[in-house]
Amino acid sequence: AQKITQTQPGMFVQEKEAVTLDCTYDTSDQSYGLFWYKQPSSGEMIFLIYQGSYDEQNATEGRYSLNFQKARKSANLVISASQLGDSAMYFCAMSRINFGNEKLTFGTGTRLTIIP
Amino acid sequence: DADVTQTPRNRITKTGKRIMLECSQTKGHDRMYWYRQDPGLGLRLIYYSFDVKDINKGEISDGYSVSRQAQAKFSLSLESAIPNQTALYFCATSDPDVGGVGEQYFGPGTRLTVT
């Protein structure tokens, strides 16, 4: 079984600072994918970034990067130069690649608040 | 127009009533999913479907049923709603065969309250 742990229920960060959201995972699979989603107060789920277990380089998408440490089973999201619009819930999730990501397992989320 | 739509967006119903939540997508994806979100629990998978002939139970399927009427439509039913089914329900789609990473695209959610 797969499990995602997000230990930070809430975080407050000053605008323009970088922020790291923690995510650790547990799986016995060799091939898996790690995802981060953003959920603003409006409720929709927005895909941010993906890291495959065999990807050697950390994924980056604009101001988002994923700090992937396979041996430690961690997949932290780093947001550089935070903006007020980054205030939202953030969910880490994982899936088994060989099964087409049909069973996406989510963590409980971190509520990020950016302070002006 | 949104790629994944859900109706209704909000619904209040009484215990014991049957209710259907509908999901439509224009992304052309074969795979569709239903999740529920409860505070502090993240999203949990209820059912998923790989195509119109394929339906699979997820983590928390008890008390729910689904129907895949077409590639673009996937409905979730609560045959006899109970208060602990009060939650935010999401429909999602994916298609890992189009060269992407198989990320799931979510609808806007349906907020269901069972009184």
Ranges in chain B, pLDDT < 50: 99
Q: How many residues does chain A have?
A: 116
Interface test with B, best of A6, A104, A111 (most B CBs within 10 A): A104
Task: Decide if A100 contacts B96 (C-beta within 8 A).
Answer: yes
Q: What is the pLDDT of residues B17-32, one digit of tens each?
A: 999 999 999 999 888 9
Q: Number of CB pairs < 8 Å for A and B?
A: 63
CA distance A11 to chain B (A): 15
Which residues in chain A are closer than 8 Å to B107, comparing Cβ atoms? Answer: 44
Which segment of A4-13, A78-87, B36-45, B56-65 scores lowest on mean pLDDT? B36-45
CA torsion through residues B54, A97, A33, B96, sign: negative
CB contact under 8 A, A106 and B102: no
CA distance A68 to chain B (A): 16
**Percent of chain A residues past pLDDT 90, beyond the cut:** 77
What is residue A6's predicted lDDT score, i.e. its pLDDT?
Answer: 97
CA-nearest of B44, B23, B36, B48 to B102 is B48
pLDDT above 90 for A79: yes
pLDDT above 70 for A55: yes
pLDDT band of A17, cuts 50, 70, 90: very high
Rounded to the nearest 10°, the torsion over CA B77, B79, B81, B84 is -70
A10 forms beta bridges with A111
Q: What is the pLDDT of residues A27-46, one digit of tens each?
A: 988 888 899 999 999 889 99
pLDDT above 60 for A101: no
